[in-house]
């Protein structure tokens, strides 16, 4: 458990350092965060604040919210990568504040792994599913750039022959 906490703290410090260096929004927000900090020392933010400062929030300064809005205007782009680099997804906006996010290859891989591991209560169930080529079911809102919808559409675009499985 101690080693896990150590890894957690190291990754958190790396994430905050990266954010400070690559996001003007987080550089300002974290300006007074001390060198040695815990998660609870970090100032909170929310979707509305992030959307209000989107161009300064994202860590890729070559991307603008206007570009993302233009990209999302075409529903055929759901599941496609913007400039071959980012899958563009949004939260549902159920709180009245939808958030536009960019997912690079690493984020997509982590989300896929988390999703796969959450789908099965026991490891042996997942192994049996993979070995036997079983089927599963999910219900997704299919009218927007929502994470689930975008992920499934991305898979279908990459592997159209699997359409009957999805």
Rg (CA), the chain: 19
End-to-end CA distance of the chain: 38
Task: Please give the Cα distance from 154 to 149 (Å, whole number).
Answer: 8
Query: Which tens digits make up the pLDDT trace of 31-43?
Result: 999 988 999 999 9
3-state secondary structure of 70: helix
Beta carbons of 152 and 140 less than 8 angstroms apart: yes
Q: What does the DSSP 8-state code read for residue 166?
A: -
Q: Which residue has the higher pLDDT, 54 or 127?
A: 54
Query: Which tens digits make up the pLDDT trace of 59-117?
Result: 999 999 999 999 999 999 999 999 999 999 998 888 888 899 999 988 878 877 777 67
Model-wide pTM > 0.85: no
Task: Please give the Cα distance from 42 to 49 (Å, whole number).
Answer: 15
Beta-carbon-side half-sphere exposure of residue 88 (alpha carbons within 13 Å)? 25
Cross-strand partners of 152:
none
């Amino acid at each position: 458990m101690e080693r896990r906490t150590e890894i957690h703290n190291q990754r958190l410090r790396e994430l905050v350092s990266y954010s400070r260096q690559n996001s003007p929004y987080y550089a300002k927000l974290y300006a007074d965060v001390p060198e040695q900090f815990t998660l609870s020392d970090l100032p909170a933010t929310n979707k509305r604040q992030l959307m209000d400062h989107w161009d300064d929030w994202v860590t890729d300064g070559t991307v603008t919210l206007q570009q993302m809005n233009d990209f999302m205007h075409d529903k055929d782009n759901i599941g496609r990568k913007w400039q071959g680099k980012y899958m563009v997804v949004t939260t549902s906006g159920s709180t009245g504040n939808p958030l536009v996010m960019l997912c690079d290859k690493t984020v997509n891989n982590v989300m896929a792994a988390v999703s796969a591991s959450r789908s099965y209560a026991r490891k042996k169930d997942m192994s049996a599913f993979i070995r036997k080529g079983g089927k599963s079911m999910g219900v997704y809102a299919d009218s927007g750039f929502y994470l689930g919808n975008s992920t499934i559409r991305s898979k279908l675009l990459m592997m159209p022959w699997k359409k009957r499985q999805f």
